[in-house]
Structure 1
Amino acid sequence: MGSTALTVVWLVAGAEWLLIAFFIAAQILLSVVKMLNKAYIGRFVRQRFSGAQARHVLERATSLGLVGGLVGGGLGGLLLELGSAGWLFALAALMYVVSLWAIRFTLREGVDPQRVDPAPAKASPAETSSGLTGSNRRLLWLVLVFSVPSSGALPYISTLMVPFSDVIAPGAGAFYAALTIATTLGGFVAGMALSAEKITIGHVLTFGLLASAALCVGLGAATWAPLVLLLVFLVAVVLTAHVISMQVLTNQAPAENEVGKFTVMRNCVAGLAKGGFSLVAGWIVDVGGPAQSWLVLAVVLVVFGVGWYFVDRKYEGVSIPS
């Protein structure tokens, strides 16, 4: 709807303030839709796939989403050079229609008859005002707290890329592009490695943050461009694997009727972490430079990584990988 409205305003050459107002409204609407869409997809995956299949779906979807973001961003820039922005809004609206049709096509056969879920248990007296039992509320806090470091670290690193690339290879725009590709490729490899079970969620949750901290220390000290590319690729692999693992935990750990609530809450916290980490990264770069920024990120990851060993991960009916 937002993209369609923007297309109409653009084509009729509406006032600039009107175009800006519609653009802001479209962004707000898109943010709400994305949050609800993720909650719905989480519930859908939980209902239609077994535990192992659901993990593979989420892992591959994340990898493909990263590739789609890279391809879409490049394609958007190319189309802007060839035509007006108004037609890109129209294309975005068309793509939403196609995705809606694809979802309806997928769901038209109804629920898989081979997948019979037990009736939901009645709420216990320990049910809290938020609709979660005491045990599940503690599980929700675990998911929210440990979604912060990896969700925030990736945009933190993105914020560092321009000043960092200028320090390693001054004036070489191609090196910044190489860093961006290395980061995206690392995210894709992480999803594929988890999906193929080359690495396990338990190992990622246990060692991922500490391994990322060690790589960040290396990036703070490295000055040789090929080594920097390798370290950026590896840290992207580990951090993205942690993000995916937390997404899988969000989908698989809670009761089925609480998946949507867990997903929405986690997305809110992850969004705040992304914005907060990005702002902090920009401030630290201005004050101390890229090398100090990597070290600050390493300290934050160590704090959360060590904290994982001390939190209670035993919950009624839930198995947290370790």
Structure 2
Amino acid sequence: MAELSRLDYVEVIGQAQGHTGRTAAIYQIGKGAGHTIAVDAGSTVIRYRATYLDGRVLLAGIYPLSSGQRHMSAEISRMVDQAITEVLKAVMPEWGPLRAIGVAVPARVTGQSRLVQPDRELWTFDGFTPPPGVPLVLENNVNCAAIAEHNYGAAIGRRDFAFVQVGLKIGMGTVLSGELIRGQNGAAGEVSHIPFPWSANERPQPETLEDYLGVDAFMERVRSDWPGDDLPRDSLDLFERASKGDVAATDHVRRHGHDIGRLVAACVAVIDPGFVVLGGGVGSLPLLLPYVREEIARLSYSTDIVTSTLGADATLLGIGKLAAAHAQADLIDAVNG
């Protein structure tokens, strides 16, 4: 501890005295340990946050995208660069050194410096270059949400669980025996690639399940089947009407809940996690939960289904956790080396 204090990696913030024995010093992360930047490169907004390594927030912000984007794009790349530039301009001396940057992305991650798109071609951040000498940690956004739920949310203490995201996109993050499962190609949990539809006279196409379950297609079905002219403005309006007892809205929420239940049943059939957290812009809405549970009970094994407790913050918290862990490991190596 003396060496950590000398390096300003920790600092004393108080003392604790028990009933017996010596007085103990209370420490927190010092400014010498520095800070990290976490970015959630989402499909509709870019969220960013600078924190000390113990999670204390220094700066946070959000940038909306011009439209919903299911895959990495030039706009997402530019907005990530803008977010990080914004943080770098605001850095104060008391923040200490920048130790790592973490970016959660809507794509498969096959390494620390490149992504793989659905067309299997390599794609890098054309509009973003990290500061020299600062490690860049990349991770799939749904995996990040699973990490957050495991550490801070509904899955604390669980060794086996799945996080299923339903919103503009669909995805799954899986933790088994306490470890995040990424797969050989970084594609574990890419449930948008489950063949759909599957029948004697239909041939599945890539990502058709996501085309069907995503919020845009869901709302198209709602509007095409709506009984009057007073169409719901968006999914939140639809769910608000359902919560007030609107029959048509409730019917569509029930159908979508059953559809999501079928997706979860497919996941349960493969990994049998015993516990599933629903998240995403639509999946995290509590009104869906009884219908998802209803379909799981009909189709699959006994599985506890709950709604995310972290909401839109899950991915940002997860990538922040990874960036901080990377920075802490580097500091420990430096002290021991």
Taking structure 2 as the reference length, the TM-score comes to 0.20
Larger helix fraction of residues: 1
Larger strand fraction of residues: 2
Taking structure 1 as the reference length, the TM-score comes to 0.20
Higher relative contact order (CA 8 A, sep 6+): 1
